[in-house]
Every structure is written in C-alpha cells, then in structure tokens.
Amino acid sequence: MNRRVFFKSLFFLFASLSLKFFSQSKNKSIYFSHGVASGDPTNTHVILWTKLSGDLATQQEVVWEVSSDRSFNNIISQGESIAYSENDYIVKVDANIPLEFNGKGVYYRFKANDQISVMGTTLTLPTNNPENFNIAFCSCSNYPAGYFNAYKEMANDKSIDLVLHLGDYLYEYSRKGYASSEAKEMGRLVDPPHEIITLDDYRRRYATYRSDQDLQLLHQLKPMISVWDDHEITNDTWKEGAQNHSDNEGSFEDRRNNAVKAYYEWMPIRDKKERDKIWRSFSVGNLINLMMLDTRLYGREKQLEISDYINDNKLDKEKYAEDLNKPRDLLGKEQFNWVKRNVSKKYRWSVIGQQLLIGPKYLPNIFKSDKLSGSRSYLSKQLAGEKLATNTDQWDGYPYEREKLYKVLSNSQSNIILAGDSHNSWLSNLYDKKDKFIGIEVGAPAISSPSFGDSFGESTQIVEEAFVKDNRDLVWTNGRYKGYVSMDIHSEYINVSFKYVSSVKTKDYNVLKPYTFRVEHNKPLI
C-alpha cells in the first residue's frame, strides 16, 4: 500500500477512536494512560514506546505486535518485553520490520494482562529513492504557555511521513516561571509545581506533557526523531553548567544525568551506551542524508556573556568582537569529526537537524527607534545596526566553529540546515566568509512558546521587515504565528511550507494559509 494512501485512510479511522481505548476486560488495574509512540526509524527497524500506569508489580510483562493490517490478522513482528519500576515502567522495543514492508505504513500495539493499548502507526525509511518524502519539524512546546494545537495539525497532516523535534520538548520552570501567567486559566498547570531538578521531577514533568491529547495523537500517528535543546535540562545549558542552574540546586552533573535518563525513558529514541552522544544519522535511499546534531550539551563551551563587556552602561564593542571570533567549541571534537565522516555527495540532500539558528541574525537599526513598541534594553539600542552578535547562545556566538562546519558541509550536494529554539520562523541563504554558498537555513516557529508577536504586538511586522532589510542573508521571517514546518522533498527541489494556527490560547482556532517557498537543488533563494 502506498504510504500516502495508508496515512490518508488512517485519518478517518482514528477520528472515530478515543485515545484512551482499552479492551472490555474486567481487569482495569493496568493502563496505557500516556499512549504509544514510535521513533528513530531506520531502513529495517523502528523504536516502539509505551508506558504502563496503575496497580503494577516491580516487573510487568508486556507483549508488542506489529501488523500490516489494522485488524492485526497479519502479524509481521512481535515479542515480549518487561516494564521495570526502576525505568518508570517505560517499554521501548527496537522492532525489526520485514524488508517487504520497507517504507510502508504498518500498525502496532501493546498488551499487558488483558489490556490493549491504542493502535499506533509507523514506518521504516525507504531504501529506494521515492518520488518525494515529507519531513515535518518543530520545536519549543511550552505546556503552560498554550495549547498544542499545532501538534494536532501535524498529526492530521496526511502528507507527513516523518516528524523531527528539534528540542525544548518540555520546559523546566516552576508554575510561576516563564510563560505561565495564563496556565491556570487554561487548565495547564505543570507538575511538579516547582522547578524540576531530580529524576522524579523530570519524569513527572514528562508525564504532564504526555497527558496532552494532541501530543499523544501526534506520537500515535507519526514516527518521530528527536534531539534535546536546553530546556530538557535547564535554560542556556552548556557542557558544564547552565544559566538557570545555581549552587543551591545541587550538582549540575547530577541534574544533567537526571534529565538525560528521563529523556531516554520518555522519548521514542534508540538507546546508546553513552547517552550524552545523542547525534545520529538516517537515510532515505540516495535522496536524503539526515544528520541530527547536538549543539547544546555534549561539546558546547560556555557562551560569552555580553554583560561582561559593559562598563557604565556602555558596550566595549571592540573587545567583544575580538573575543567573539576566538575559537570556541559548540559541537565538540568527537561530534565534529563524526559530521566530517558522515557528510557525503552520495545524497541529493543533506538535511541537518539541530537546535540553533546558524545564519547571522543581527539586530536591525529599528531597535534604536523610540517609535517601536515593546520593551527594549539599553544594550539592544547599542547593538542595533552594528553587525555584532546579539544572541551568543546561537551559532552567532561561535563564528569560528560555524566557518569550520561550513567547510565540511561544502562536501555535500545540497544542504538544508534546520533550526528550532528561537520561537520564530526564518528562511536564509547561508554563505561562508568568502561568499561561497553553503545551503539554506529553515528555522521553525514555536509550537506554543512566546514569539516576536507576543513582545512587539502591532509592531511585529515592522520588526520582521527590518530584520530582512538589515540582514543580507535573511530572505524571510515571521514572528506572528505558532506552528510547524513541512518539507516536501524531491530530487530537484524542496517545497518548504510554514504552517500556522491562529491561536494557542484557545482550542477554538483556525488553520492559517501556509507560507510556501521552493528551494532548488544547490541554489540560493532569490
């Protein structure tokens, strides 16, 4: 069955099914309250995920099944697994899918005692060269900031074959923290109520997020490949610390280990011996070489603090620029060498999934103007129009490493570099210091986190236009709407579509007309 026909037919089926469907057994002591998920598909395998809840023993047997039909009359892969209390009763299976079903949609489910989970759908990545393959990607899903309407739209977007989550899948703050002012009104208070630090804290926060029906639906219907950003640990993380970690919160290493363990438990990601080395690659025939990178945790040296260069409210621009251009690791040597080994001209497209905006994003001159609504610091007025990095947490804070990466990526046929983290939509041509074209950057909007529109209100469009005007490589930006990006990938071109919802503050929303751009193979956008 063609995968598009398969997913189209599923839409009507799942519209009539509850996410909390269980068998009609009298034994209701075990539940699959957090749904099912699949992820990290290869050409032969895919991770299947679920979690048990209820009256559980220390160890609980679980049966898993994969079928070519939704009635499960043709089981093509199956087995048994054990859910352990020490792993939060998470079940993760690396299921082998027979080659005859390569690239085709299949069904899966779990059983424990007499209970049956909701039915999920997934696929392995095609080994041949499909006419097209659709990858959607997203980031920055803040539960208390708003509803996950964009997740619902992704789940029901029948064109999507695979979803990438580029990080900030959850946020670590307390109920009084970032973007939480309307959480109680919307019924989206997080658990635990305090900032998360311990392993139990992180697990409970994942449980809160995965109680969301729209997120459950997305995981149920689409395979996902994910990487973390900072908020899966804590804000502005680097390899030995973070902006949002203080000495009275204990050891940063312990907190980091707690966060990483919970991430591997709750996400449908293939386990590794060294879990902090999360980078990995996937392929779709010779069409796509997908490389997922970690620009956050493993190799990142500490970000420059602009405040260190301010005396008497004046920025020492010369010293700041000098230090900014010194060598500083972002990927780390081991990951960087891995990228060098995996870049190949064999593939039509190299798609780089990572967290941070890579093209220069300088603050436009308009930030000097008093006519611009929204709060601005004295520092932003000094940086406006100066062609100096404003956000040192992005690749702008690591320009030496950026040039090194550009040199490596010049060995690809054509590059598309994806980014999350910023909460706004971006589309840029990428050039090295010698003006050699490297590829295209596509930055995702937030699923629910605050963006330009939440800060600048009626002035948002003016800010967008100013960014494009004052940044040579930037083609387009949008900070007004929340949503996701889908890429319909063909051999000669990619249709990049920014898809938005009208609101995240209510479940009563509209789907907006998408902004679509055609990216030609190895050509800059005009």
Contact of 436 with 329, CB cutoff 8 Å:
no
List the structure tokens of 223: 């395979």
List the structure tokens of 267: 């996400």
* Structural domain includes residue 26: no
Q: pLDDT digits over 113-147, tens only? A: 999 999 999 999 999 999 999 999 999 999 999 99
Residue 242's pLDDT band, with cuts at 50, 70 and 90, is very high
Evaluate the CA torsion angle 61, 66, 67, 70 in order and state its sign: positive
By the 10 Å C-beta count (0-12 exposed, 13-18 middle, 19+ buried), 86 is classed as exposed
Query: Which residues make Cβ contacts (< 8 Å) with residue 350, sequence separation at least 6?
Result: 289, 291, 343, 344, 409, 412, 413, 414, 415, 416, 439
Which structural domain, as residue segments, surrounds residue 513? 125-520
* Structural domain includes residue 182: yes
Residue 216's pLDDT band, with cuts at 50, 70 and 90, is very high
Structural domain tally of the chain?
A: 1
CATH at residue 192: 3.60.21.70
* Structural domain includes residue 63: no
* Structural domain includes residue 10: no
Contact of 495 with 385, CB cutoff 8 Å:
no
What is the C-alpha to C-alpha distance for residues 517 and 526, in angstroms, rounded to an integer? 10
What is the C-alpha to C-alpha distance for residues 102 and 123, in angstroms, rounded to an integer? 7
> Which amino acid, residue 155?
A
pLDDT value at position 76?
98
Query: Which residues make Cβ contacts (< 8 Å) with residue 427, sequence separation at least 6?
Result: 440, 441, 442, 443, 474, 475, 476, 477, 496, 517, 525
Average of per-residue pLDDT values in the chain:
94
Q: pLDDT digits over 68-101, tens only? A: 999 999 999 999 999 999 999 999 999 999 999 9
* Structural domain includes residue 451: yes
pLDDT value at position 57?
87
DSSP character at residue 439: E
pLDDT value at position 14?
44
* Structural domain includes residue 141: yes
pLDDT at 21 over 90: no
* Structural domain includes residue 76: no
pLDDT value at position 12?
40
By the 10 Å C-beta count (0-12 exposed, 13-18 middle, 19+ buried), 58 is classed as exposed
* Structural domain includes residue 304: yes
Q: Distance from CA of residue 207 to its chain's centroid?
A: 18
How far from 377 is each of 164, 312, 380, CA to CA, in Å? 35, 14, 5
